[in-house]
Chains A and B, each alone.
Chain A
Amino acid sequence: MSESIIPESELEEVELYHPKSWWTEKVFSQDAKLIAIQYGLTAFAIGFVALVLSWFMRIQIAFPEMAIISEGTYYQFITMHGMIMVVYLLTALFLGAFGNYLIPLMVGARDMVFPYLNMVSYWTYLVAVLVLFVSFFTPGGPTGAGWTLYPPQAILGGTPGQETGIVLMLVSLCIFIVGFTMGGLNYVITVLQARTRGMTLMRMPLTVWGIFTATVLALFAFPALFVSAVMMLFDKLLMTSFFMPALVEFGENLSYGGGSPILFQHLFWFFGHPEVYIVALPAFGIVSDLISIHARKNIFGFRMMVWAIVGIGALSFIVWAHHMYVSGMNPYFGFFFATTTLIIAVPTALKVYNWILTLWKGNIHLTIPMLFCLGFIVTFLNGGLTGLFLGNVIVDVPLSDTYFVVAHFHMVMGIAPVLVILGAIYHWYPLITGKMLHDGMGRFHFWITFVGSYLIYFPMHYLGFIGVPRRYYEMGQTEALYTSSAADLNVFITIAALAVGFAQLVFIYNVFWSAKNGKVAEKNPWKSTSLEWQTPEQPPIHGNFGKELPVVYRWAYDYSVPGAEDDFIPQDVPNEKVKLAEGYTELGVEKT
C-alpha cells in the first residue's frame, strides 16, 4: 500500500512506571506483557479444571452403568465446564492475555495507556476465578443450573448447588465483569490513543482489529450479564421477584410472584450472543494474520475483512433471541431474529472465502501455526454451516436442546477458537520466551487435537438428529431413538475426547520443556512484518521499543511485494530502505 506523510508526534512521551522491587517487577507488575502471561496462565489453569470435568462427563455419558458421578455432580460439572470455558478461559485468554501482549506491541506503544488499572484488572480477575473455584468446596458444591443459569431452576431446591454454589457463581461473574471492564477500557483506549506515528487504523493488523472490536462488544454486552446476576442474587437472597413468578417448589407454595423467567433469558443472551463474537472476532483477526504470514501473501480483501469484523460485531447485538426460539417468547420474534441471524452469515462467509483466497497463489509454509489455521477453517466452516440450521427458526425447533446444538457450538466457538489460540501460541511463543516450541511434539499435538475433535463433534450432530436431548445424565431405555448403536457412538466419542485430552498434556509438557530446552529462536523467525517482531530485543523488554518509537510506513501485509528482495517488508521500513530485487528500479517497477 502506498506511503503517506508521517505526522509529527503531538505529545511528548510520558515516562513509564519503573518497578522498584522484585514484587512490583515480577508479581504486581504493571507491564502489559507480564500481565498478559499472568492472565494466560490463570486462564489455562482454570481451563484445565474444566477440561478434566469434561472427561468425567464423557465417561458418564458413554458408560452410564458405571455411574462414575452422581446426577447432581454431573449437572454441576456441565455447568462449571461451560461457564469456565466460555468466560474464564476463552474471554480472559483472548482479551486479557492476547490483548495485553499484542495490542501495545502491534500498534507501537510502550505499554497500555493505564498500566496501573491494567494490573488491578488482572488481580480482580484472579479473585473472580478463586471465588468460582472455592464453590467446589462449599456445602452443596458448585451450581448445577447449566451455564445459562436459567431461573427459576437456578435458585430452587431441585438444582444442586442452590445453597451457596449459585451465589458464588453470580458473585464471581460480577467480579469478573468489574475486572474485565478495567482491562477492556484500557485495550480500547490504547488502540485509539497510543498508536505510534503512521499507524493509521487501516494499517493495524487484523489481530488488533479483532481484539479491539471484541472488547468494544464486551463493554456493551457484559453490563447485561452484570444486572441479571445482581437481580438474580436479589431473588435468591432477598426474595425479590425479578425473574420469579408465583410457583410451587415440591408441593410448597413460595412467596414469589409476578417476575418473568424469560426476562432473564433476554438479558442473558443480550450478553451471551455478543459473547460468541467476543471469542470469535479475536480468533478471526489472529487467524487472518497467521494465514497471511505463513502463506507469505497479503490477506485477501483487507478492507472487507475490517468491515466484516465491525459489521459482524454490530449485527451480533440484534440476533440474541435466536437462542430462545423455543423459549416461549412471542413467536413473532422468530421472524425477525431468524432474518438478522441469517444476514450475519453473509459477512462471516466472506471472511472464510477471504482466508482461502489468501492461500490461493500463496507460498504456503505448512508450519504448525498454519496447520492450526487450516484446522480452524475446517471446524469453523463446519460450525458456521450448522449455524444455518439452528439460526433458521423452524429448523431449530426439532434440533434445539439436542446434541446437535452441543456439537454446533463446540465446533464453532469451542474447537475453532481453541485451534486459533493454540496456533497463536506456537506462533508467538518464540517472541514471548525466545525459544521455539518442539516441532515433533507440536505436530503430534496438532493432529490428535484437530482430527480427534472432528471425530468427537462431527458424528455428535447425528445424535441430535435422532433427538437425543442434551444435559441428560443418562438416556436409559429409549429404544425408539437411543439404540444400542447410538450408545456405541457415545463410547467412540468418549474415546476420541480422552485422546484429545491426552494430547493437551503433551502440549503442556512441550510448553514447559521448550522454555528450558527449546531451540533458541532466531530474530523474527516467521519473517513477519508486524511491529511486535521488530523490537530491538527478543523477547521485548519493559517499554517494548528502544529509545525511539517505531514509525509506520505501510500496512501489515506487505508480503511477496514485487521488486523487493525479501518476501516481506516490515511495517517500520520506508520504501527507500527496501532492498530491491535484481532487475527492479523501484518497488513494483521493473528495469526497462
Chain B
Amino acid sequence: MVPFILLILIIGSVLFHLYTPWYSTPIASNWGSIDSTIELTFWMTGIVYILVLGFMTYCVIKFKNTKNRKADYEPESKKAEVILTVLTTIGVAGLLAPGLIVWDDYVSPPEEAMPIEAMGQQWYWNFRLPGEDGILGTTDARNISADNPFGMNENDPNGKDDILIEGDTLHLEHDKPVKFLLRSIDVLHNFYVPQFRAKMDLVPGMVTFYWIKPTVTGNYEILCAELCGVGHHAMRGEVQVDNTNDYQDWLNDQLTFEAIQEQAMLDREEKLAFNKSN
C-alpha cells in the first residue's frame, strides 16, 4: 500500500502540473525571460523530483522487510558522494546563471524609459508623470497636506508641469518602456501587476524602482503585494495600456501640479468672495 500511494502521489503531481487550469496569466510585458526562467526551473526540478521519489519508491518496494532479510553494511561511498555533489552543483549552476542574467536586465532600466512615479498610501494608488520636461519634481513626506497630497516641493521648477493622478487609473503607452519610481508616504506597499510579472516594495523614506515595457494593450489590475494594514486586500488600482492615440488623448485631459494649484487658489478666492457677500 505504501509504494502504491507514493506512486499515485508522484504521477498525480505530474498530471496535475500538465493539466492544471491554474497557471500564469497571459503575459503583457517584456518579461517573457522571467517566464522562461521559471519554465527552465520547472523542468530541472521536476525531473529531480520524479527521479528521487521514484528511486525512493523503488527502494521501499525492493528492500521492504521480510523474514530473512538483512541489510547491507556500507558506511559510505566516496565515489557516489562525489558524483552526486558534482551533478547537483552543475544543475544548480545551470539554474543560477540564466537567472542572474535576467536579474541584471531587470535592475538595469534602459535610458529611454519614461520615469513614472507610483505612490502608495493606505489604501490606494496615486501616480505622477514628469510632464513636458521629462523630469519629476522633488518631494518630501513633510510637505504633505490636504492641499498638497503628493508632498510636492513647491519651489522646484521641475515639479510644476508634473501630472498628478490621484486615486485613478494609470495609462501607459503601448511598447514604450517605463521606469516606475516607487514611493510610499506611510507604510510598506508593493506595486504588483501579475500580467507584468514584475514587482517591488514601496518603502517610506526612499524611492525604489523597476522597469517594464507593456506589450499588450488592455486593462490590468494592480494588487498590493506587501501587507499594509487591514485594508491591504482592498488596495487595488488599475493600469490601462493604450495605443499611442488613446494614450495622447488621455494625457491631454490630465492636470499638472501647477494647474491643480491654480485651480485650488481660484476655488479659495471664490469661496472667500462667497463668504464675504453673505
Contact = CB atoms under 8 A, between A and B. Distances in A.
B5 A451 contact: yes
B232 A472 contact: yes
A223 interface: no
Interface string A426-460: 00000000000000000000010001001000110
B122 A246 contact: no
Interface string A70-103: 0110010000000000000000000000000000
B251 interface: no
Contacts of A474: 233
B225 interface: yes
A317 interface: no
A561 B73 CA distance: 6
A327 interface: yes
B23 interface: yes
Interface residues of B, number: 100
B106 interface: yes
Interface string B17-43: 000111111000001001001100100
B273 interface: no
Interface of B: 2, 5-6, 9, 13, 16, 20-25, 31, 34, 37-38, 41, 44-45, 48-49, 52-53, 55-56, 59-60, 63-65, 69-77, 80-81, 84-85, 88-89, 92-93, 95-96, 99-100, 102-104, 106-107, 121-123, 140-142, 144, 146, 182, 184-188, 190, 192, 194-195, 197-206, 208, 220-221, 223-234, 236
A548 B20 CA distance: 63
Contacts of B123: 158
- A interface bracket (residues with beta carbon within 8 Å of B): 35 or more
A486 to B, nearest CB: 6
A480 B238 CA distance: 13
B71 A350 contact: no
For the complex of A and B, the 7 pairs showing the least CB-CB separation, nearest first, are A245-B205, A467-B194, A158-B229, A328-B208, A153-B187, A331-B107, A297-B71
Interface string A321-348: 0000011100110110011001101100
B144 A248 contact: yes
Interface of A: 1, 71-72, 75, 144-146, 150, 152-153, 156, 158-160, 245-251, 253, 257-262, 295-298, 300-304, 326-328, 331-332, 334-335, 338-339, 342-343, 345-346, 349-350, 352-353, 356-357, 359-366, 371, 374, 377-378, 381-382, 385-386, 388-389, 392-395, 397-402, 447, 451, 454, 458-459, 462-463, 465-467, 469, 471-476, 478, 480-481, 483, 485-486, 489, 557, 559-562, 567
A374 B69 contact: no
Contacts of B48: 385
B41 A156 contact: no
Contacts of A462: 20, 22-23
Contacts of B6: 374, 378
Contacts of B187: 152-153, 156, 158-159, 247
A374 B233 contact: no
Given A301-B76, A393-B100, A328 B182 contact: yes
A350 B77 CA distance: 13
A401 B13 contact: no
Contacts of A400: 199, 225
A392 B225 contact: no
B227 A397 contact: no
Given A248-B121, A295-B63, A363-B65, A334 B185 contact: no
A364 B141 CA distance: 65
A583 to B, nearest CB: 13
Contact of A301 (B41, B81, B99, B140): B81
8 contacts: A152-B188, A153-B227, A247-B187, A328-B202, A356-B52, A394-B103, A395-B34, A398-B24
Contacts, number: 325
A343 B92 contact: yes
A346 to B, nearest CB: 5
Contacts of B232: 75, 471-473
B224 A469 contact: yes
B96 A398 contact: no
Contacts of A338: 96, 99-100, 103
A178 B96 CA distance: 39
B230 A144 contact: yes
Contact of A251 (B59, B76, B146): B146
A394 B36 CA distance: 11
Contacts of A303: 76
A458 B17 CA distance: 10
Contacts of B64: 364, 366
B122 to A, nearest CB: 5
B199 A397 contact: yes
Given A342-B96, A557-B75, 17 more contacts: A75-B232, A247-B186, A261-B188, A297-B72, A301-B75, A331-B106, A342-B95, A346-B88, A366-B2, A378-B56, A381-B52, A389-B45, A393-B103, A397-B34, A462-B20, A467-B195, A469-B225
B41 A388 contact: yes
A68 to B, nearest CB: 15
A158 B122 contact: yes
B186 A328 contact: no
A86 to B, nearest CB: 16
